[in-house]
Amino acid sequence: MASTTLTTSFSLLRRYRSFRGHAVAKSLPNLSFARLPGQSPALLRSCRFICRNADEEAAAIAAAKVAGSGAPTIFDKIIAKEIPSTIVYEDEKVLAFRDVNPQAPVHVLVIPKIKDGLTQLGKAEPRHAEILGHLLYAAKVVAEKEGIVDGFRVVINSGPQACQSVYHLHLHVLGGRQLKWPAG
Ligand code: 5GP
């Protein structure tokens, strides 16, 4: 199943890449796409319209397929220090490290060290209130350390319509340049 998902996602990605240079938002509704096994048409439609970037869309569709399983993600390996990352802040509850694909001069991810079911913000329950507050405060500490506390943005993508690609709750801390609004 995993390889099927991957193959189909790359196929989607290739088809989208062939449309680069066009007004993507206008082109996408005219395309017809094969649906992944077990994937709802609504999910595919949502990703097609909302995730304007081909790479983001393919990743979001693939990630959404396994999101409910609670399976370990790449962030578990980063927490375990099994794969390298550039850590900018750490305490007993959270880890903050630089995004591998930065969207701004400062782009740091802040994650809980223990997932406890928090695959995405949309799964938050009352017991998560403390860690959610801690994560937000850690984002401010990161902004201070990075010298952007006077102007920065915190983003949480939750679910496929927001192009979430890693199902371990994380805050994006972005800054170091003029950020536009509204976000895409
Ligand atoms: P999402 O799209 O789920 O909101 O954000 C996931 C983020 O994780 C992306 O910005 C992506 O660049 C980042 N990311 C994915 N894999 C890795 C990795 O192995 N290392 C680091 N540092 N960042 C990663």
- Note the pLDDT tens digit of each residue in 52-101: 566 777 778 778 777 767 789 999 999 999 999 999 999 999 999 999 99
Give residue ranges with CB within 6 A of ligand 1: 74, 85, 97-101, 109, 157, 163-166
Distance 152 CA to ligand 1 centre (A): 19
Query: What are the domain boundaries of the chain?
Result: 2-67, 70-175
- Rg of the chain in Å (alpha carbons): 17
Q: What is the pLDDT of residue 111?
A: 99
Judge whether 111 and 136 are in contact, CB under 8 Å: no
Superfamily of domain 70-175: HIT-like (3.30.428.10)
- For this structure, is 170 an active site residue? yes
Distance 57 CA to ligand 1 centre (A): 14
Judge whether 172 and 155 are in contact, CB under 8 Å: yes
Mean pLDDT of 95-116: 98
Distance 76 CA to ligand 1 centre (A): 12
Residue 5 vs residue 116, higher pLDDT? 116
d(CA 47, CA 34): 13
Q: Grade residue 171 by pLDDT with cuts at 50, 70 and 90.
A: very high
d(CA 18, CA 86): 34
